[in-house]
Amino acid sequence: MTRTTQFTIGATAHCNDGVGGTVTRVVIDPVARTVTHLVIEPRHEHTAGRLVPLRLVQKTGRELLLGCTVTQFERLDRAEESHYVADDDGYSSHGTGKAPAWPYFSGLGGTGLRAGGSDIATGLAAGAYRDSKVVTTDSVPSGDVVVYRGDPVHATDGEIGHIRGIVIDAASHQVTHVILHEGHLFHRKDVAIPIGAVTHIGDTIQLAITRQQVEDLPPVESDQCDQTP
């Protein structure tokens, strides 16, 4: 048996003594194709998400169990960092609260880490920050990329659906499948795309197969891949 673990973006994460928060995205090393962290947003939505190393995840499925207390969870590194930028510094076209981080280049192709969103700064004194904005970018290990629920997935002949989750090998943390939400309003299903059919992981997921080949894949349940022979 090869044990695999599915991380559904949007799942609830529990600590030893209470609810920690919600899985909002997955952090991936795109070269090794391994998951390094989960980003879990605390129950209070105004609080920044935390970078949770996989070693803290003790149980997966529809709900996750973390091997820490709520207090320990809230002390983990934040998954976002904010910066003040001037209106004329090249970020203005992205709008308040949205900006790209430094690009990443590898054999898989270049990709930029994307902003996770931010609050607009209020109550700033006149002067140096008068013409500034606050932008928030993902704060992840150097070289890693962030995968969000709803990120677009492209087949060789066009967009085919959106990311729902990631399946990894429980021992190596290598990605084995990406879970794709495919279809239209009255004909939707989740399918598992083998990582061998993925050519690019970043702000979009690029596949080496056609839309018809994706549509021909059998549907999977949300945690059907939790244990695979």
**Of the candidates 101, 209, 111, which has an alpha carbon nearest to the alpha carbon of residue 151?**
111
The Cα 175–Cα 85 span in angstroms is: 36
For residues 36 and 27, the answer to whether their CB atoms sit within 8 Å is: yes
Q: What's the confidence (pLDDT) of residue 133?
A: 60
- In sequence order, the β-bridge partners of residue 181 are 162, 190
The Cα 215–Cα 218 span in angstroms is: 8
Q: What's the confidence (pLDDT) of residue 223?
A: 53
Q: What's the confidence (pLDDT) of residue 220?
A: 85
Q: What's the confidence (pLDDT) of residue 189?
A: 85
Q: What's the confidence (pLDDT) of residue 91?
A: 47
Which DSSP category does 79 fall into? S
For residues 159 and 204, the answer to whether their CB atoms sit within 8 Å is: no
Residue with tokens 């606050």: 134
Q: What's the confidence (pLDDT) of residue 122?
A: 35
**Of the candidates 162, 164, 146, which has an alpha carbon nearest to the alpha carbon of residue 224?**
164
* All residues at 6 or more sequence positions from 83 whose CB lies less than 8 Å from its CB, including other chains: 134, 135, 136, 137
- In sequence order, the β-bridge partners of residue 201 are 205
- In sequence order, the β-bridge partners of residue 78 are 50
* All residues at 6 or more sequence positions from 97 whose CB lies less than 8 Å from its CB, including other chains: 115, 117, 118, 119, 120, 133, 134, 135, 136
Q: What's the confidence (pLDDT) of residue 107?
A: 36
Low-confidence spans in the chain with pLDDT less than 70? 1-2, 45-47, 82-139, 183-187, 222-229
Q: What's the confidence (pLDDT) of residue 128?
A: 42
Ordered domains of the chain (ranges, CATH):
4-74 (2.30.30.240), 80-138 (no CATH), 146-226 (2.30.30.240)
The Cα 164–Cα 181 span in angstroms is: 6
Render pLDDT for 110-158 as a digit per residue (tens, 0 to 9).
333 333 333 333 333 444 444 446 556 666 777 888 898 889 999 999 9
